[in-house]
Amino acid sequence: MAPSRIDSVNQCWRLAPPTNSGHQEYIRADRIRQTLYAGFQADIQRWQLERDDEQFLRLVTVGHLSGRALLSNRAVRKYSAYAWIDAMLAECQQHPDRERVWITIAWDSPLTWERAPNIDTVSWRNIASQHLRRCGLDGVGALEIDTWKEIAGEPGKRMVPHIHFLGWSKNGHKVNVKALAQNMCKRRALTNLLGAPSVVVKKVGQRAQDLATLGCYLSKPPAYAKNPIPNHVRSGFKLNQVKHASGSVARLIEVLSYMEIGDGIFSIGEGKSIAGAVRQQVKEQCDRKHKAMPAPSRDMIARHWRRIRLTNGNRKFDDCNVITRADQRCID
């Protein structure tokens, strides 16, 4: 398949000029997104596709979607990045003196394999939310999925979902960063078999640029892989950012095609207004598009990817099992 067949779709929309603090992060977000979709084009350039499979890939990656804002879609990613940056700048303006912390939670339960991913977005967001609530925090967070380069002796590449959270004390008290990290790392439900701390907590600056940078980070797609280098001084691995192996970006796009914007966001207390603003801004931008096509159903997504994988990509890849909020609603 020639890259231009999918990449030639209309250029994505851009917001009105942002503030000075947000402009740099808009540009950074654009570059990250472009890297991801360039990797996707490289992965699929030699694929041989039926016409309806080609149309499906175009729709979930660069088409104009209605109904559901899929995280595999380039325009949705752009709207999301700008919305996160805008929301962070608004948070800074509304609460200029608020003391905030940046928390990363990477624990064993979400670990899965690229060959047969099991992605439970509902469970992982709920687990993270419960532990953060126990710490007396409000805030807003996002789910990110990394792919690691293969570790010697393992049966394939790992997918490593983890949580990023911007939080603050619910009662206005000062957060003890060291005590918070130690408390959470000791919890049995948050172990990390890969040797890294399961929870890392850092203080956040109060400048608009600090918050805009985190907005970009909360929205960033998995444009790069992580290469785990054994740490001989301390246990675990040092993670270097590297280019994805062939086929890994297409696999991530497959996983993300099952997920909507709301599947990657969660919030606690006052953080709900931030999450709501992000979702609403993305929805409004999607709704503005003329001639938008309905997003494919879950069954349709699974059917197309299964057929595509019969003759393209890594033959060892199995179906993706991705549990989302929509699946939970069907069960309820």
Res. 14 pLDDT band, cuts 50 70 90:
very low
- 257-275 pLDDT, tens per residue? 999 999 999 999 999 999 9
Q: What is the mean pLDDT of residues 253-259?
A: 98
- 171-188 pLDDT, tens per residue? 988 999 999 999 999 999
> How many CB atoms within 10 Å of residue 154?
10
Count of the separate structural domains present in the chain:
1
Provide the residue range defining the domain that includes 281. Answer: 4-331
Non-local CB neighbours of 289 within 8 Å, separated by 6+ positions: 13, 64, 65, 66, 75
Of the listed ranges 1-10, 50-59, 75-84, the least confidently predicted one is 1-10
Residue 145: beta bridge partners?
A: 161
- 15-48 pLDDT, tens per residue? 334 567 688 999 999 999 999 999 999 999 999 9
